[in-house]
A and B are shown apart, each in its own frame.
Chain A
């Protein structure tokens, strides 16, 4: 009987200790430079993982029209990186090319500088 009790306790400890992936608060600062496109109406980021989506822009703010756009956002994530692409006026960059990898820094803040349609 004691054997079964020990087994039960071990099982419960295994079940309820660290059974959920740890998630961290990460602040992401993105700066996007756009060259050679005039009359930009929308600039957004698309990708996987909340709050991003591949169907809808997560909008960037204009710093210099038709040139520099930025986004600062805080997310809670357990992932090491997110796959992303930028979109200008709803059109994806890097067509038929791999997605960008936004690797989250070990520190709280991740800085990511990019040029539209140019893969680093």
Chain B
């Protein structure tokens, strides 16, 4: 075969890789922009327009490159590999740390666009000696477009869902570096230059591999940020959207956009939820019921009592309990509490569970999301607390999460009054949780039971609570003092509207 009329498969593959990667960078930029800035139509329009324009600039600039075509081509490939490859992590870091996201975005897009614009003209010129121009253009440009199709299918269907945006970005960069390396073997070289170019290629490729591994280790595989922190896990269950974010020191769980806990200070919340109730009971529970609390953090606190016999945890959403059983970073937080042999997890509606339940419990921890809608609001009604009362032993203790007595004072006291109306004696508590603000619980038990004054966990076993703080939980300053609001009933659910109104006030 005539050497001049033949393009090797390796060369053809290189063209496809170049074309694919060019489009993937564009898609990465568009995706980042729409994640961070929202309004995806506008963001994609801007990014595509700017990118194509920059490619035009690059193509025009290619006429100024006259000598050492191969060396220039390899250098351009390597620059693309670096700038494009690190574009997603770079933009992400800019967004989370510096804030000049738009400027960084448009600079990156312009730079990558120009470099990609340079690629094809240079490649064509490198191949000039092999084929007639009409054949060359036909081959290269058609493969360029095939690569574009390839990229546009691969990116949304495989790369983004499987690898996440950061790894996609670096993987594609790696491919560019490999193309550069390949070029040093495919084209004739001046003697002595080959080694230096190849070393450069290998260094860039290594850099990208290190990047891939490092990002993997930090679990920053997330596709976007949420309230300013990278998402490490997100899923939509039948009931809610579950998002876990992680920064270097802090893990947070959001359900439908509402913060459920922050690993920084959840110990304050869960210690207050669990230990005063156990202290009021006077001994480690034999059979504890946890309603809600699918994150297993309250169970973790319960398991501190070695004499505890059984825990039944009822959480509606299998997605939540599933994540906190199987996903390492979530499981680390609860210490694998949900897989403890003493713990039974049931994914059911708590209301329905109590109706069908025959068991008796000596301790119940009730930790539902706030009553922001009527579906959750049912779990804050007189009927619900009456059912709960029926499932508790005579001396049984319950503790109920009852929103913030500061931000939603009337809601808090309405919940407290409703619990009291179900024949419980109550001792309301509050604690300061920095991520939440002042937060409230109601400790409920048999008529005449006294608030605890000592804790049953060994001294120093807790991070926040000690006997001095314990007494403080029950003292309400004047601006959170009891207000009389009434009882929340299933056929009325005034709590939902009061709660919504109170929180709207603070969010405005």
The answer on A and B forming one complex is no
Interface residues, chain A, with chain B CB atoms under 8 Å away:
none
